[in-house]
Amino acid sequence: MLQYFSEKNIDLPARVASGKFISLKEYMQFYDSCCLHKGAFDAASNVKRFRINDKHLRNIIVANQKGMAKVSSETLQGRVRRLRSFLVWLFEQFHEAYDVDEVISTKFATLIAKIKLDEDGLRKNGSQQVSGAEESVLPDEVFLKLLELIMPSSPNNPFKASRVRNYLIVNLLIESGIRRGALGKLKISDFNFYGTFDQISIYRSGNDSTDPRAEKPNQKTKAHLATIDKNIMHQVKFYIDHIRTEFTRAQYHDFLFVSENDSKGTAGLPLSLKSINSIFQKISTALGVHVHPHMLRHKWNEMFDEKGERCGVDTTLLEDIRKYAMGWSQNTTMNDVYNDKRLAMKARELSLVYQHKVDQKND
């Protein structure tokens, strides 16, 4: 967001301080660029530099480039939200809430209302693509291949080093359904190595002064306890006692996962979010399928639905349990995504039963 406005020579802090803000046209241009992958907007604009005499042909090329470069509604919504949050923060820094010019206040409220409307519209509409009821975010055959691939002893493991750490990173995401940020901020003290020996405390920590990372990971949703397999818990304990202790700088902080590569003098320091992304990029290359941390959160929900149905758990109770496990509030609509999938599966089952009866009558 900052990069876009910088390239357009628009100084957002100065604009907000002066009460000029950004025009509706400038906002819509930003919105259009947010619809595309990073760099794609400029790439599409570069077509104008080509010496193509047929304007119609040039327009087709640009339209095709934009169509191929569109991001998901979730990504678009995040970019729009970031602009709104930043503008609101700037407004609070430069203008007193009860001593601001009425014209400026009204102008700002109108701009924010427009951005919020677009943001909410993206949440309601979601993706325009319709997935099949049985379509999984990560097909079972690929998921099983991932589980085999990431085993430290696997001959197909793409990592020469840090195999135990990377194995735990993937399995903790699979077992708990937590986000990448929550994983990155996990501390040794968050693991309950007592009692049932299968729970992790997941919570927000704000601006953690003990975290030396420039990009500090954090938990976005409510505090809760995540339950994982006891075997994974024992393996985490093994990692702490026998691998993490080998890095001197690891003794000065409590974060679970540390960098094991000292090429940049970072060995023993808390593992960065960028490094977690790099781990998944390498896994994706080895699998031949793009896999990212949030995909495993969706896979957790799919498996949660299957287990809930097998156990005969009441659907209302199942959704309450899901909201707790995901750290969502009771008023959230995030679970609608998974409800829709389960309802689609049920609708398909009932339709097939009905069709079978109709076919029998026709026979």
Instruction: Please indicate, yes or no, whether residues 292 and 241 belong to a single structural domain of this protein.
Output: yes
> In degrees to the nearest 10, what's the CA dihedral of 132, 138, 139, 143?
-170
Inter-CA distances, 267 with 152, 245, 271, 276, 308, Å: 20, 11, 9, 15, 42
Q: How many CB atoms lie within 10 A of CB 314?
A: 9
Q: Are residues 103 and 146 in the same domain?
A: no
Sign of CA dihedral 269, 270, 274, 276: positive
CB 47 within 8 A of CB 69: no
Is 132 inside any structural domain? Answer: no
Q: Please indicate, yes or no, if residue 288 is contained in any of the structural domains.
A: yes
Residues 93 and 206 in one domain: no
pLDDT band at 242 (very low <50, low <70, confident <90, very high): very high
For 253-264, how does the pLDDT look when each residue is reduced to its tens digit (9 = 90+)? Answer: 999 999 999 888
Domain termination site, one of 94, 125, 156? 125
The chain-wide mean pLDDT, for the chain, equals 83
Q: Are residues 116 and 26 in the same domain?
A: yes
The vertex-354 CA angle with 352 and 356, nearest 5°, equals 70
Ranking 149-163, 178-192, 274-288, 315-329 by mean pLDDT, the lowest is 315-329
Predicted local distance difference test score (pLDDT) of residue 100: 67
CB within 8 A of 228, min separation 6: which ones? Answer: 172, 175, 176, 198, 199, 200
Distance, in Å, from the CA atom of 235 to the CA atom of 253, rounded to the nearest integer, reads 20
Give the bridge partners for 199, in sequence order.
192, 227
Find the mean pLDDT for residues 11-28. Answer: 91
Specify whether 326 is located in the same domain as 287. yes
Query: Both 146 and 7 in a single domain?
Result: no
Q: Which residue has the higher pLDDT, 9 or 220?
A: 9
Q: Which domain holds residue 91?
A: 2-125
* pLDDT score for 315: 83
Taking the C-alpha atoms of residue 168 and residue 228, their distance in angstroms, rounded to an integer, is 11
The residue to which tokens 């609070």 are assigned: 92
Please tell me which residue, 42 or 332, carries the higher pLDDT value. 332
Q: Are residues 211 and 329 both part of a single domain?
A: yes
pLDDT higher than 60, residue 43: no
- Assess whether 97 and 243 both reside in one domain: no
State the pLDDT at residue 184.
95
| pLDDT (tens digit per residue) in 123-151 | 554 444 445 555 677 888 999 999 999 99
Is residue 162 left, alpha or beta, with left meaning phi > 0 and alpha meaning psi from -120 to 50?
left
- pTM value > 0.85: no
Q: Are residues 184 and 333 in the same domain?
A: yes
Q: Are residues 247 and 348 in the same domain?
A: yes
Look up the CATH number of the domain holding residue 359: 1.10.443.10
Tens-digit pLDDT profile for residues 172-218: 999 999 999 999 999 999 999 999 999 999 998 878 889 999 888 88
Average pLDDT, stretch 95-108? 74
Report pLDDT for 153.
96
User: Residue 70 corresponds to which tokens in the numbers above?
Assistant: 């569109």
pLDDT at res. 202: 94
Q: Quote the pLDDT of residue 105.
A: 81
Mean pLDDT across 75-84 = 90
Q: Examine residue 130 and state whether it is found in any structural domain, yes or no.
A: no
For the chain, the distance separating the N- and C-terminal CA atoms, rounded to the nearest angstrom, is: 63
Summarised one tens digit per residue, pLDDT across range 303-314 is 988 888 888 888
Q: Is a pLDDT exceeding 90 seen at residue 245? A: yes
Indicate whether 56 and 102 sit together in one domain.
yes
CA 228/CA 226 separation, integer angstroms: 7
Bigger pLDDT: 50 or 76? 76
| Number of domains, the chain | 2
Q: Is the dihedral of CA 118, 74, 28, 12 positive or negative?
A: positive
Between 24 and 250, name the one with better pLDDT: 250
Choice between 132 and 227, residue whose per-residue pLDDT is larger: 227
- Mean per-residue pLDDT, 224-240: 95
